[in-house]
Structure formats: structure tokens, C-alpha cells
Structure 1
Amino acid sequence: MFSLVVSFLIRVTLVALFLPFSAMDKLLNADAAVEQAQSSVHSRGLSWALVGAGLFVEVVMSLAVLAGFFDRLAAVVLAGYCAVTALLWKPFWKTDDFRLKGPSKGREVFWDFLKNFALAGGFLVLATGGTAYGVTHLMLHPLSSSHPYSSVRPDLHAPNAYATNPPAGVSR
């Protein structure tokens, strides 16, 4: 039971930024979200579409990660979302006051940029298990679940399953 709770809490900490906080912010402050989107795409209609797509990604992919339903793919989508939002809305290189010491808006944006990429890395670890085998497994089975609430890994429960029968594309 303890492992189930810990597994769930790990996933909650990864998605908590999006669900409920960022998703709720997009709903409660939609005009401000659209205005922020317009800083990268100048069409108001496209900005509304981006905010809607962002809301969809934040809610649906977060729920998939929490439920363990297509969670590997959902984690990859969230990793990409974190990277794209960092590149579009955290461009520290465009600030004119980036300094390592003293007050600097650019440095604050830089830390936000890095946090987005750190979160993306966390999602990729979740998607792959942080192993070369996990990367190969994800590439071969992108719609698979990691079975986060199982106490036995279904692909590894047989003795020496990996050593005697490695997945296609992986040498011993």
C-alpha cells in the first residue's frame, strides 16, 4: 500500500503545476492567457486555439499520467509541451538586462526556462523509467502503460526475462 501511495504522489508532484493550477488559471483568466499567447503568435484567433490546446494538454495528459492510462505517451506530450512553452514564453536571451549578479528580469526568466526543461526531463524519466531499455520499449510500444500501480513489472517478472529475451533492437 505504501508503494502505491508513493507512486501516486510522485505523479501528483509532476502534474500539479498543470492540474489544477495552470488549467484553472487558463479558465479564470482566459483573456490574459490569450494576450500572453499573442506575444508569440500575433493572431487573436490562433492565440485562442493555442490556449485551448494548452488547456486540453494540461488536463487530459495530466489525468492520463495520474491514471496510468497511456501514461508513457502522455508524459512525452507533457515533456514536449514544457519544452515548447519554455522556448516560446521564457526567452531569457531576448531580455536586455540578463545579469548574473544584482536585479535582473532576464535571470528570473532564465530560471523559469530551466525549470520548464527540468520538468520536461522528469516527464521523460517517467515515460522511459530512466533506462536505455525503457527508451527502446517506449519507441517500440508508444501507447503502452507503465503500470504505475502494479507491484510487479509485467515485462520483468519472469526470471532473467531481459537477459534471455531482449526486446527487438536491443543487443545483449
Structure 2
Amino acid sequence: MQRARVYAAENFVRTMFDRAAERGNPVVDFFGASLTLPPEARFSSSETVQRYVDDVLAHPAVRERWPGVSPLRVRARRGHTAAHYECTADADGRDEARAAAIIAVPERGTSWALRELVVLHEIAHHLVHQVNETAAAHGHEFVVTFCELAAAVMGPEVAHVLRVVYAKEGAR
């Protein structure tokens, strides 16, 4: 249920950004308040996503909030229905240096995953995993982390929108 609520909330937020972009006007009426949405980055390939991920993880606010975060690699994904985060340990599970954290993004047949909100969602998985390896994939820690990350990178308006829509959808 939590995962479905998280996805429903994020789909609503992405739709807000899409409609604002279609109108060419970043000002939206959000539950009776006028908010100005920041521009949302769009990417052309897994390589451009990688540069963005590197920049986000090097961002001073991100480094301060999540110190010592390990690198995150981006790869192209064959399918086009989902982006995902994966963290695999070495074969015997003892060598952390050989662990690999990866975001896989589809590049063909769709552009929905090659956007800032989707990439930040996947980075939030990485940040949660760095702090608590046993945290639920889309649980409370994830929701809080994604909101904090969105505030640091995209601005407080985006974090506010996410918090309100998560609450509206019942995501905790």
C-alpha cells in the first residue's frame, strides 16, 4: 500500500510539472496557493543522468546532510517500464569497496525516466540505503529523504508539494 501511495503522489507531482511546462507558465494553483515551480531538468541519455547524479552527490547541502555517501553509477536499462536502484555486494558480502550502487534508467521508447524528479527518486533510495540498509524501499525514511533531497536540489517549493501530495495520498 505504501509503495502505491508513494507512486501515486509522485505521478501527481510529475503531472503538475508537465502541465506547467505545456502551458509555459511555472505558476500553479496548489490547493488554493500560488506556487512557482522551478524548471525540471530533462536528460538525453544515461551519460547525462550520470553527470547529474555526480553533481547532486557533490552538492554542498547533500554532502552536509549525508556525509560520506558512496558513488552511484548510472546504466542504461533495456526495458522501458521502470527505472530502479540496485545495490549489490561482492560475492561473499564482506568487501564494501566492491559493492556497487547503480541506477538503471530506460533510454529507448520513453522519456518519462529521463527527468529530474525520477532521478532524484532513485538517488533518494541510495541515500536511504547508505543510512539504513534495512529501511523499507518506499517507507517513511524514503519519503522524508526524498523531500529533503528535493528541497536541497530543486528548492523548498518542490519539497512542499511532495509533502502535501504524499499526505493527501496517505503515504507516510
TM-score (norm 2): 0.31
Greater Rg over alpha carbons, structure: 1
**Larger strand share, 1 or 2:** 2
**Larger helix share, 1 or 2:** 1
TM-score (norm 1): 0.31
Higher relative contact order (CA 8 A, sep 6+): 2
